[in-house]
Amino acid sequence: MLIWRLGVCFLVLVHCILAETPEAKDEEQIRRVITQYLEGVAQTDPVKVAAVTTGAAMGQSAGGTVLTRLVDRARTSSKPRATLIRRVIVLNPSTAVALGIWRDFTPAPFGTGTVEYTLVREQGNWRIAHRHDAFLPEPRQVASPMTAQVERMQSDMSAQEHDRWRSLFDGKTMNGWIGTDSEAEVGASWRVENNCLVTVPGGGRSSLISTQQYLFFELRFEWLAAAKANSGVKYRLLGFDRLGGLSREPLGFEYQVADDEGDPGARIDPKQRSGALYGLTAVDRSLSKPIGEWNQSRILVLPTHVEHWLNGQLTASYATDLPFASAIVLQHHTTEVRFRKISIRRISPSSAPR
């Protein structure tokens, strides 16, 4: 009994040590630093920006031509912008980089792009030393960002209209969906079979994007993954990127869908398990059902935060910065995944829980 108890204590200690690795603590602090910096810019608060930047911190424009002190940038009004930090890399004990994507909401020739922060550790704290923006191509022939006027019209919809559930898939056709790659034939990437939308492995990589956009909403769907499959449902899109010059990949927030036991990423990274906010929030233990069984998923997008649910369990909850309307995407990731019973209801901003 004593040996058994010592063994349990040892496993708990190992778990605690692994959960509190220096890398994890650094990433958490770096994300807090960037969040405070973005808040300072949005609030035109140079004091808040100065607290998380080095004295000589500079920012390079998306065109690569303009250098500006980050503190000076905070003194001027900023465009409404949403930012998603997708990856943090600690290069060594004193240097790190954070990579993300951004999207503006004021008319401009280019409204979306990537961002890279370089951070250094000063007196034990991480600070931003450099920021570099870059452009991404605007989506063409796909649902474009909603204008402020359309968003206001959506916000003014009656409570009854907001609470009404609508099906996004009729079980027979792909009506209401178009391919993310306008140059590819959707039929080469997707098929309708037994009341399901099914990805076609090896037939192209065009994801499906809804023709309607949604601001605050609840989305419910069922999915079944083949062995070693990987997919996702994306929302709040920030832009599109090219995959090796071929199909376009939507960039944004992703509800991960995968064979947790067979997909290489899901097996080693809790942030790639089903129900996670892909690459950002970890799912402690797999909640997906075995191969051959259907899973029930739910995405709740509210004014202040987002929730992911899988088979009745909360798998991710995170705060959002600037809410905006966007299409819904069913991702094609070269493996076979089936989707069915896809329904959505709009949520009124005035009645949404906060």
Tell me the pLDDT tens digit for each residue of 198-218.
Answer: 999 987 788 999 999 999 999
Write down the pLDDT at residue 1: 45
Euclidean distance between CA atoms 157 and 224, whole angstroms: 34
Residue 298 and residue 255 share a domain: yes
Taking every pair of Cα atoms in the chain, the longest distance, rounded to a whole number of angstroms, is 70
Between residues 186 and 10, the one the model is more confident about = 186
Euclidean distance between CA atoms 183 and 344, whole angstroms: 28
pLDDT band at 158 (very low <50, low <70, confident <90, very high): low
- Residue 1 is assigned to a structural domain of this protein: no
- Residue 220 is assigned to a structural domain of this protein: yes
Q: Tell how strand 125-135 and strand 53-60 pair up.
A: parallel
Write down the pLDDT at residue 207: 92
Residue 191 and residue 281 share a domain: yes
- Residue 13 is assigned to a structural domain of this protein: no
Q: Which of 75-84, 88-97, 228-237, 243-252 has the lowest mean pLDDT?
A: 243-252
Residue 313 and residue 172 share a domain: yes
179: β partners:
208
Count CB neighbours of 76 within 10 A.
10
pLDDT at 119 over 90: yes
Of 85, 114, 135, the domain-final residue: 135
Of 75, 101, 135, the domain-final residue: 135
Output the six-digit token pair for 128. Answer: 């931003």
Between residues 140 and 263, the one the model is more confident about = 263
pLDDT tens sequence across 4-44: 343 434 444 444 444 557 788 999 999 999 999 999 988 88
- Cβ atoms of residues 33 and 52 within 8 Å: yes
Q: What share of the chain is helix, strand, coil (3-state, %, to 5)?
A: 20, 40, 40
Write down the pLDDT at residue 4: 36
pLDDT at 261 over 60: yes
C-alpha count within 13 angstroms, C-beta hemisphere, residue 42? 13
- Cβ atoms of residues 176 and 192 within 8 Å: no
pLDDT at 134 over 90: no
Q: What is the mean pLDDT of residues 315-336?
A: 88
- Residue 7 is assigned to a structural domain of this protein: no
What are the backbone dihedrals phi and psi of residue 34, each rounded to the nearest 5 degrees, phi first? Answer: -65, -40
Between residues 46 and 156, the one the model is more confident about = 46
Contacts (Cβ under 8 Å, ≥6 apart) of 317: 305, 306, 307, 308
Q: Domain count for the chain, please give it.
A: 2
Residue 239 and residue 118 share a domain: no
Residue 288 and residue 169 share a domain: yes
Write down the pLDDT at residue 301: 95
Write down the pLDDT at residue 299: 98
- Cβ atoms of residues 337 and 222 within 8 Å: no
Q: Which of 119-123, 144-148, 284-288, 350-354 has the lowest mean pLDDT?
A: 144-148
The DSSP string of 141-207 is: SSPPPPPHHHHHHHHTS-HHHHH--EES--SS--TTEEESSTTS-GGGTEEEETTEEEE-TTS--PP
Residue 181 and residue 115 share a domain: no
Write down the pLDDT at residue 107: 62
Write down the pLDDT at residue 204: 75
Of 68, 102, 135, the domain-final residue: 135
Write down the pLDDT at residue 120: 97
pLDDT at 282 over 80: yes
Write down the pLDDT at residue 248: 73
Measured CA angle at 243 (ends 83, 116), to 5 deg: 30
Euclidean distance between CA atoms 354 and 344, whole angstroms: 20
Q: What is the mean pLDDT of residues 117-142?
A: 82
Residue 168 and residue 58 share a domain: no
- Residue 173 is assigned to a structural domain of this protein: yes
In terms of average pLDDT, the best of 190-199, 278-287, 344-353 is: 190-199
- Residue 12 is assigned to a structural domain of this protein: no
Q: Which structural domain range is residue 230 located in?
A: 148-346
pLDDT tens sequence across 48-67: 999 999 988 988 766 555 67
Q: What is the mean pLDDT of the chain?
A: 83
What are the backbone dihedrals phi and psi of residue 11, each rounded to the nearest 5 degrees, phi first? Answer: -65, -40
Euclidean distance between CA atoms 346 and 348, whole angstroms: 7
**To which residue do tokens 């492995």 refer?**
201
CATH of the domain at 80: 3.10.450.50
Write down the pLDDT at residue 66: 64
Write down the pLDDT at residue 63: 56
Between residues 9 and 328, the one the model is more confident about = 328
pLDDT tens sequence across 77-110: 667 788 999 899 999 999 999 999 888 876 655 5
Write down the pLDDT at residue 166: 95
pLDDT at 225 over 50: yes
Measured CA angle at 269 (ends 205, 84), to 5 deg: 65
